[in-house]
Amino acid sequence: MWRKLCRPGAIDWTIYLRKHGKFQTFGQDCFISPDSIFTDPRLTSIGNNVRIAGAWISCHDGSVNMLNRAYGLKLDSVGAVVINNDVFIGRGATILPGVTIGPRAIVGAGAVVGKDVPPNSVVAGNPARVIRTLDEHVEKMRARTASYPWRELIERRDGDFDPAIEGELTRQRIRHFYGK
């Protein structure tokens, strides 16, 4: 209810989840977008330095209820989700029951993850598959950053967001991409 009425930002939402979310574990230096969904926080473990940008994390197979009624059965299908340290999960990703992610892993936007994500990897797609190591991804991003005219601003940045330089950084990016 608080999320719908107050529309908290990611920092406030993360603080709320850490305090009231009833997760198995919830590490430090995390950033959880308010539109992220956790169907079973008690079966979800979140490590340190985890960023989740609007993903669906489920620890149960919702088809069980339909199958139980349709077949007159009493089935159950659950699995813990473990998100290790230093993990980014992109917008629209779906993490299915029983999955362990990382440490040091990226799940691409829109990926559907039905099996474990190896440490030091980047996965994407449906079904998610390894597309490169995290080390390869970092090198690719280093090269891209070095090519930007605002790289000196990035090097001076204090933390994830530095209000002292964000205005100039935005102006340089607009000029670079749109010539304005």
Q: Residues with catalytic annotation? A: 60
Question: In degrees to the nearest 10, what's the CA dihedral of 161, 156, 143, 107?
Answer: -20
CA gap 81, 61 in Å, rounded: 13
Please state, in angstroms and rounded to a whole number, the distance separating the CA atoms of residues 33 and 45: 16
| Total residues found in the chain within this entry | 180
Residues 6+ apart with CB under 8 A from 149: 172, 176
Segment (H or E) for 83: strand 81-83
Q: Which of 97, 109, 8 is nearest to 54 (CA)?
A: 109
Assigned token pair, 38: 């956790």
